[in-house]
Amino acid sequence: MNLRRDVFQAIADPTRRAILLLVASQSMTAGAIASNFDTARPTVSKHLQILAECELLQQNQNGREIYYHINAKNMKEVADFIEPFRKIWDDRFNKLESVMKDYQSKK
Amino acid sequence: MEQKTKINAEGGKQDLVITREFDLPLELLFKAYIIPEIVEQWMSTKVLKLENKKHGSWEFETADAKGNVVFKANGVIHEFVPNKKIIRTFEMENTPFPVQLEFLEFEKISEHTSKLNMHIVYRSGGHRDQMLALPFAQGINMAHNRLQDLVSKLNNR
């Protein structure tokens, strides 16, 4: 299956990465996404189509509007999608450990 | 090497569990959560308020080098049992993310080691995935910026 290769091609483009970053925090309509870019609306639509085709984005119909949001399951297949989140906590807890070791030795 | 911090996030669920074993006695691990000056050090934030009691509340604020506040979070403490558990809410201010519920359980493994179990419940599965996606998205963006910096440096030579 070529999905993996396509996914990497999809995230190789800076605009598409910026789109993923935008919708990571909230689901948005194509119009709302496009308003964040200087690029022409049809170009943004093309990017959305590619991201949706390789299932990095999911579309949800809500009344007349289509909302785009991140497809976590597939993002997980790209790279280890949870790893950066884990790393943040790991760094934080490593710091906790070293701060408390200092605290203990000072007493 | 086995990872010290583990994340368990099952597909389609609206919660996740973070577990970590510490090379610290239980009492010392718990102290890291209740002494404001210590929390400030390992969380790299300013602690405006930290009431370690049932029905208490907390407030953190982080500023950048120029003094601009870049992160603000707050919550209430629902339950507080020393060296055992903290149940609290966590909400980031000025973001679209809804409040989340956190169950922290502290456990003694041996005289010198302890374990933290942090169970976080989000408003929906989608909200959980967005929180997980945030560091990932920032990561790919940062990697891209670093790559651009590198390329422009090479081009300028």
Query: Measured between beta carbons, which residues in chain B are less than 8 angstroms from residue A21?
Result: 137-138, 140-141
User: Residue A68 is which amino acid?
Assistant: Y
Token digits of residue A47: 């990017």
Half-sphere exposure of A48 (CA within 13 A, CB side): 24
Q: How many CB atoms lie within 10 A of CB A89?
A: 18
Query: Measured between beta carbons, which residues in chain A are less than 8 angstroms from residue B36?
Result: none
Distance CA B9, CA A82 (A): 9
Q: Smallest Cβ distance to A100: which of B24, B95, B126?
A: B24
- Return the residue in B129, B138, B142 with the most chain A beta carbons within 10 A, the one to mutate for interface testing: B129
Burial of B83 (0-12, 13-18, 19+ CB in 10 A): middle
- Residue A68: closest CA among A85, A38, A84, A44: A44
What is the DSSP-derived secondary structure letter of residue B93?
T
Distance CA B100, CA B127 (A): 10
Residue tagged 């966590």 (tokens): B90
Which residue ranges in chain B fall short of pLDDT 70?
A: 1-2, 136-157
Domains observed in chain A? 3-80 (1.10.10.10)
A59 vs A107: which has the higher pLDDT = A59
At A16-66, the pLDDT tens digits run 878 887 787 678 999 999 988 888 889 999 999 988 888 888 898 888 889
Across the interface, whether the CB atoms of B22 and A86 are under 8 A apart is answered no
Across the interface, whether the CB atoms of A69 and B18 are under 8 A apart is answered no
The pLDDT of residue A14 is above 90: no
Per-residue burial over B6-41, b if 16 or more Cβ lie within 10 Å, else e, is: ebebeeeeebbebbbbbebbbebbbbbbebeebbbb
Q: Smallest Cβ distance to A97: which of B6, B22, B137?
A: B22
Phi, psi angle pair for A68, to nearest 5°: -105, 135
Burial of B152 (0-12, 13-18, 19+ CB in 10 A): exposed
ipTM over 0.90: no
- How big is the A-B interface in CB pairs under 8 Å? 110
